[in-house]
Structures are given as C-alpha cells and as structure tokens.
C-alpha cells in the first residue's frame, strides 16, 4: 500500500482536472433541471480525494529521502523531455497546503456564490486552477513547470473574467493575461537555453550538486540566462515591473482571490526557489532579485495605503510580502523563503475570507461605504485580527518567527536588509490597521446597518484557518524550522515588535479614533494620486512600451498596405494586362504553342548560360 500510494502520487494533480471535467454537463448547460450545485459537489469530492491522497503520501515521506517519478515523453539526440515528479516532504507538503486551501475556498464559494447561475463554470475553473498548482509544486521538470505555469495563466484569465458582461472585468482579465504572457515568453527563452546547455530540463539535474556546480558559463551568458528564468516568476508573483495585474485581478470572484493571493502567487516563487542554483551562477541576477524585491516590498506597501477598494488594498500587501521572498532567494536563503510562503499563504487566505464575508453582506468593496461592523460581525472581526497578526511580526504567531529568523543573526545579513524588513513590517501594520479601522470601527454606514454574521459555509473555512494560524508556530517548531526561546535574539525581536506596534498604533490613532472623521484619502492630493496610481507606472507604460508597440504596429500596417499589397497588386495588374493582350494572338494550333514554349525555354537557357560560355571562351583564348 505504501509503495502504491507513492507511485500513484501523479494522481494528485489529476483529481482537480477530473473534477473540472465532471462539471462540464452543468457548466455547458446540458443539465439544467438540478441547478448548478451538483457540479460543485463533484468538484468538492475530487478536491477532498486529492487532499486525502497528498496527506497520506506526505506522512510517508517525512524523514525520508526524496524520490523521483519519471515519465518519458519525448527523447531525440541530446534532448530529453520527460515528466519528472519529485516526491519529498517539501513538495508533497506544498500540495497538501494547496489542496487544503482549495477545499476551504470551494466550501466558502458555496455560500458566497449560492445564487450565481455560473456556479458550475466557476467550480470547473477552480478544479483547473487546483490541478495546475499541485502539478507545479510536484514537478521536477522545468519543461512541465513551464507548461503548468501557462495553465495557471489561462486559469487566471478565465477566473478574473468570470463575470464577463462587465467591461471593467474584461479589461482586467485581458491585462492580467497579457502581463503574465510577457514573463512567460521570456521564461520560454530561458527554458530553451537551459535545454541547449544541459540536455536535460529536470531540476534535480540543475542543482548545485550537478550541472550548476560544475558548469562554467560566460558571465554575460549566465546573466542573460538568469534574467530570462526569473521573468516568469516576476510576472506570476506580481513583482515590479510586472506587478499591475494582481490588483486588477481582484475584479474576479472573491473565492478565487483567496487562492490567488495565497498560493497562486506562491507557485511562481516556488519555481524561483527551485531555480536558485542556476540563478546563483550570475551575481548580477541575484542583485536584480534583491533590487526588484526591495522595490516591490516597500513600493507596494506604500501603494496599499492609498487604495479605496478593500481587495486592491490587500492585494498590494500580497505583492509587498512576495518581495521579501524574492530578497530571500537573491540571498540564497531558500529555506527561509519557503517558511515565508507557508506563513503568508495561510494568514492571507484568512484575511481574504474575512473581508469576503464583509463584501458578501454589504454588497460593496468600497472602503468609503463601510464602518461599524465590529459589533455586528464579531466572529469575522476576530478572524481578520488573527489573520493580520499572523502576517505581521507579532509574537507568538508565524509571521514573527519567519522575520525573526531572517534578521536575528542565524544568517549574516546586511544592515539595509534589517531596515527593509522593519520598514515593510511597519507599513504593512499601518495598512492592515487602516482597513480594520475603516471597515470594523467607526460609525455605521447605510450598507453596514443591517449586515448579519456570515453563514456556516463561510464560517467553517474561517474557523479552520483561525486554528491553523494559531497552531502555526507549534507546527514550525515541531518540524525543526524554529529555534527555542533561549536562542532568540531579544534585541532584534523587540525591534520587530516595535515596528509592528508603531505602524499599527499610528493606524489605530488615525483610523480607529472616534474623535475625528477618518481620512480615507491623503490630505495632500498629489501624494494620494501618486500612490493611488501606483507611482504612475501605468502612465509610464503608455508613454513607453505601449507607444512604441503602437507606432511599430502602425508602421507595419502601412508597409503591409502600401508596399506589400502594392507589389502584389502590381503583379496581378501586369498578369491581367498581359493575359488580356495575349488572348488576341491565339490561333488554336497546339503544335505551334509547344514550339513557342520550347523556343522560349531555349532562349532562357542561353541567357542563363551566357556567363559560363563567356568564361569558357576566355579560357580558350
């Protein structure tokens, strides 16, 4: 039984795909009389099977060396395209996290979208979503990972554009798809280059103990290769400069946003972690990771403070947190990066569950229309507070330990990194407290006057994630990922807690104080516009990339219309005129036609051979 479950681990990603296929009769409208709920139940069942299978395999892999499952697909000369899966505590544990959060998000969707007739189509897309993500974390093949990342891009496009009758939703889906495609296209170049250099696309063949340790590449080649490989994760994790899609993706249903802000973005970072040995071949690439991560961590945290839409404010904090992961990978701290991803996935999912409950009962995402919900939704309020504390460096929850490990001397880190972490933590605390004050504190607004507590379908996932958030430090300690209290650097720990308290305290003083009206927007309009418009990045794109592409497309259209089409039309006109002229010289005798053709061919042969004959005559003379 043990060996059977290990050898059938490739089933784990297929459960979600099977669930997506089973929903087709309802999502395509073939079955109507039962309503769309049976499709949701089928998908929930397959996700439950996937979770059970992955948990069972994970327990078997604890303390055991990793295994590889190889499925040969295509081999030609030195090119080996095989579907290789890695069965290890980390990869299967990531599959457990994805399937568990997917199950909770789908259960949450039963209550959140119970009156939506597109429910079957939504659950089918969620199964597709889940299958791509679990395949990515189990994959040991860069080629397979790239294909699954493309599936993830398509799933994002379809889920963001779920309510496709709204023009803003269609625009958001298009922008998310095109932005990710930029990163995917550059990543494909890196995949082709890696296959050229190594002849294999398996991560296990590219580790520091194999190819990456022994190869010698030209520094420029190593830099270009590394930049191409990080382009895909930059797009998937919404890092600068490919970061604009994530907040626009919040136009989709909130159950999909739960996964998108917790584990979808983490899948891109997971691929980046697997590629770290190859990226380390170029110090320039590692410095680029540090720069992009720092810019996103601080910049997105500032942008989140100026957002009016509650989901967009929280999505920018997701960008910001993933910036820390990029910094960790750039410094070679892959174990820390995995801890950051694990703690962030659970806590951010809990935050989106709680604000989703608020949006479901108030029918709005606008922070200006919310307020006074703490007394009407006490359980949802408590869930938000616990989730926010889990993200921040507030003991004893997981976010505190993850950041503490980073800067408490367990690794040698520069001073600027300590400043970045403390500044990020303070800004994030201020942003989350701002949302808390505007939503749960203050006066009751018209849309929050009759807001009830969430139903059981939304409450059960929140309870589960509250328990996981509270137990996260114990889990990390049991797995040997956290030090004991005696090993804690209390000076650093107090610095982290002070950054949290300063940020949260300032946010509470401004947004939870009943002494004055809460300033939803900055009093300085230029600052509000600068941050709300993401430092004008969209405008810069329009004046640079978009403008260049537009001009080139217009030039190409002009060349196609007046030069290419003109030449083709000229040839056609010449053929037409010559044909019209020749029809009057026809006399109906086929032997004369054949003689004319032969004479013409002979004349052409003489003309073509004239240089050769001249050469022979010169030799003879």
**If pLDDT is split at 50, 70 and 90, which confidence band does 580 have?**
low
Q: What is the 3-state secondary structure (H, E, C) of 157-185?
A: HHHHCCCCCCHHHHHHHHHHHHHHHHHHH
pLDDT of residue 384: 92
Residue 497 has pLDDT above 80, yes or no: yes
Nearest to 45 by CA among 114, 106, 136, 112: 106
Residue 413 has pLDDT above 70, yes or no: no
Q: Give me the numbers of helices (H) and strands (E) for the chain, helices first please.
A: 28, 2
Residue 209 has pLDDT above 60, yes or no: no
**If pLDDT is split at 50, 70 and 90, which confidence band does 613 have?**
low
Q: Distance (Å, rounded) from C-alpha 384 to C-alpha 339?
A: 21
Q: Which residue has the higher pLDDT, 291 or 400?
A: 291
Query: First-to-last CA distance in the chain?
Result: 92
Q: Distance (Å, rounded) from C-alpha 344 to C-alpha 358?
A: 21
pLDDT of residue 77: 63
Nearest to 481 by CA among 90, 209, 97, 54: 90
Torsion angle, alpha carbons of 208, 213, 219, 222, to 10:
-40
Q: Which residue has the higher pLDDT, 311 or 617?
A: 311
- Which DSSP string do the residues of 119-138 spell out, in sequence order? HHHHHHHHHHHHHHHHHHHH
Residue at which a domain ends, from 140, 160, 183: 140
Number of residues that this document lists for the chain: 621
Residue 423 has pLDDT above 60, yes or no: yes
**If pLDDT is split at 50, 70 and 90, which confidence band does 106 have?**
very high
Domain co-membership, 322 together with 449? yes
Domain co-membership, 136 together with 163? no
Q: How far is CA 363 from the centre of its chain?
A: 27
Domain contains 460: yes
Residue at which a domain ends, from 115, 140, 165: 140
**Distance of CA 287 to CAs 30, 178, 331, 459, Å?**
54, 27, 9, 44
pLDDT of residue 610: 67
Domain contains 343: yes
pLDDT of residue 251: 84
pLDDT of residue 98: 93
**If pLDDT is split at 50, 70 and 90, which confidence band does 410 have?**
very low
Residue 152 has pLDDT above 80, yes or no: yes
Give the angle 12-17-19 at the CA atoms, nearest 5°: 100
Domain co-membership, 161 together with 193? yes
Q: Which residue has the higher pLDDT, 449 or 262?
A: 262
Domain co-membership, 174 together with 58? no
Which of 206-210, 358-362, 472-476, 562-566 has the lowest average pLDDT?
A: 206-210
Domain co-membership, 233 together with 374? yes
Give the angle 177-262-286 at the CA atoms, nearest 5°: 75
Mean pLDDT for the stretch of residues 222-228: 89
- pLDDT per residue over 123-150, tens digit each? 999 998 899 999 999 988 888 889 899 9
pLDDT of residue 474: 84
pLDDT of residue 450: 81
Domain co-membership, 350 together with 323? yes
Residue 41 has pLDDT above 80, yes or no: yes
Residue 222 phi/psi, 5° resolution?
-60, -40
For 260, the domain range is 141-543
Residue 210 has pLDDT above 80, yes or no: no
Which of 267-281, 284-298, 401-415 has the lowest average pLDDT?
A: 401-415
The first and second tokens of residue 240, run together, are 């600068």
Q: Which residue has the higher pLDDT, 214 or 318?
A: 318
Domain co-membership, 176 together with 323? yes
Residue 248 phi/psi, 5° resolution?
-70, -30
Q: Which residue has the higher pLDDT, 213 or 577?
A: 577
Domain contains 93: yes
Domain contains 594: yes
The H or E element spanning position 233 is: helix 219-236
How many Cα neighbours within 13 Å face the side chain of 528? 9
Domain co-membership, 331 together with 384? yes
pLDDT of residue 579: 66
Residue at which a domain ends, from 97, 125, 140: 140
Domain contains 402: yes
Domain co-membership, 179 together with 50? no
Strand partners, 139: 85
Angle (deg, nearest 10), helices 334-362 and 310-330: 180
Gyration radius from the chain CA atoms? 30
Domain contains 413: yes
Residue 206 has pLDDT above 90, yes or no: no
Domain co-membership, 538 together with 609? no
The pTM for the full model equals 0.86
99 burial (CB, 10 Å; 0-12 / 13-18 / 19+) is buried
Q: Which residue has the higher pLDDT, 101 or 248?
A: 101
Q: What percent of the chain has pLDDT over 70?
A: 89
Domain co-membership, 402 together with 344? yes
pLDDT of residue 583: 62
Residue 593 has pLDDT above 60, yes or no: yes
pLDDT of residue 486: 66
Q: Which residue has the higher pLDDT, 48 or 564?
A: 48
Domain co-membership, 129 together with 262? no
Which of 195-199, 339-343, 518-522, 558-562 has the lowest average pLDDT?
A: 518-522
Domain contains 442: yes
**Distance of CA 215 to CAs 63, 206, 228, 395, 421, Å?**
31, 10, 18, 44, 35
The first and second tokens of residue 143, run together, are 């080629």
Nearest to 386 by CA among 306, 456, 472: 472
Mean pLDDT for the stretch of residues 406-413: 58
The mean of the pLDDT values for the chain is 83
Q: Distance (Å, rounded) from C-alpha 325 to C-alpha 336?
A: 8
Q: How many folded domains does the chain comprise?
A: 3
240 burial (CB, 10 Å; 0-12 / 13-18 / 19+) is buried
Q: Distance (Å, rounded) from C-alpha 105 to C-alpha 133?
A: 14
The first and second tokens of residue 312, run together, are 């967009």
The first and second tokens of residue 515, run together, are 């002494």
Which of 92-96, 191-195, 384-388, 476-480 has the lowest average pLDDT?
A: 476-480
CB 225 within 8 Å of CB 190? yes
Domain contains 329: yes
- pLDDT per residue over 369-380, tens digit each? 888 888 888 898
């Amino acid at each position: 039984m043990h060996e059977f479950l290990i050898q059938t681990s490739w089933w784990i990603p297929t459960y979600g795909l099977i669930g997506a296929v089973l929903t087709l009769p309802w999502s395509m409208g073939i079955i109507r009389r039962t309503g769309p709920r049976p499709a949701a139940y089928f998908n929930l069942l397959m996700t439950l099977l996937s979770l059970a299978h992955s948990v069972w395999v994970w327990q078997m892999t604890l303390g055991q060396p990793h295994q590889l499952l190889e499925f040969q697909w295509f081999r030609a000369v030195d090119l080996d395209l095989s579907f290789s899966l890695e069965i290890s505590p980390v990869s299967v544990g990531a599959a457990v996290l994805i399937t568990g959060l997917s199950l909770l998000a789908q259960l949450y969707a039963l209550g959140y979208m119970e009156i939506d007739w597109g429910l079957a189509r939504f659950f089918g897309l969620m199964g597709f979503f889940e299958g791509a993500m679990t395949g990515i974390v189990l994959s040991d093949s860069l080629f397979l990972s790239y294909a699954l990342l493309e599936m993830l891009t398509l799933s994002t496009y379809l889920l963001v554009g779920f309510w496709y009758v709204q023009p803003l939703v269609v625009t958001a889906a298009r922008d998310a798809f095109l932005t990710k495609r930029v990163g995917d296209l550059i990543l494909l170049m890196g995949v082709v280059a890696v296959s050229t250099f190594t002849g294999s696309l398996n991560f296990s063949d590219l580790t520091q103990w194999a190819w990456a340790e022994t190869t010698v590449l030209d520094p420029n080649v190593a830099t270009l290769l590394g930049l191409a490989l990080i382009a895909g994760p930059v797009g998937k994790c919404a890092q600068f400069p490919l970061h604009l899609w994530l907040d626009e993706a919040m136009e989709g249903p909130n159950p999909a946003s739960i996964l998108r802000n917790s584990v979808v973005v983490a899948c891109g970072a997971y691929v980046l972690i697997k590629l770290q040995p190859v990226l380390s071949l170029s110090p320039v690439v590692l410095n680029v990771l540090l720069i992009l991560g720092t810019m996103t961590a601080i910049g997105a945290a500032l942008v989140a403070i100026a957002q009016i839409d509650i989901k967009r404010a929280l999505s920018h904090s997701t960008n910001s947190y993933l910036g820390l992961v990029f910094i960790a990978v750039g410094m070679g701290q892959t174990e820390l990066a995995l801890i950051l991803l694990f703690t962030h996935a659970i806590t951010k999912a809990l935050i989106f569950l709680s604000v989703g409950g608020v949006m479901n009962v108030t029918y709005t995402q606008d922070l200006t229309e919310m307020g006074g919900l703490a007394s009407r939704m006490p359980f949802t309020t408590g869930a938000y507070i616990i989730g926010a504390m889990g993200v921040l460096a507030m003991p004893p929850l997981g976010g505190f330990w993850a950041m503490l490990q980073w800067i408490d001397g367990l690794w040698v880190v520069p001073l600027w990194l300590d400043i970045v972490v403390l500044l990020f933590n303070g800004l994030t605390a201020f942003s989350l407290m701002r949302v808390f004050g505007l939503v749960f504190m203050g006066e009751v607004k018209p849309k929050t006057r009759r807001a009830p507590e969430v139903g059981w379908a939304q409450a059960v996932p929140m309870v589960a994630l509250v328990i996981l958030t509270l137990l996260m430090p114990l889990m990390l300690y049991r797995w040997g990922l956290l030090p004991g209290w005696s090993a804690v650097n209390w000076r650093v720990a107090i610095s982290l807690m002070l950054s949290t308290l300063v940020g949260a305290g300032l946010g509470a003083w401004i947004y939870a104080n009943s002494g004055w009206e809460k300033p939803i927007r900055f009093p300085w309009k230029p600052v509000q516009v600068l941050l709300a418009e993401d430092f004008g990045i969209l405008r810069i794109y329009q004046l640079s990339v978009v403008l260049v592409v537009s001009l080139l497309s217009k030039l190409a259209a002009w060349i196609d219309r007046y030069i290419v089409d003109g030449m083709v039309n000229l040839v056609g006109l010449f053929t037409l005129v010559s044909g019209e002229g020749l029809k009057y010289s026809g006399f109906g005798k086929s032997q004369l036609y054949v003689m004319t053709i032969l004479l013409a061919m002979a004349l052409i042969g003489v003309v073509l051979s004239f240089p050769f004959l001249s050469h022979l005559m010169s030799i003879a003379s």
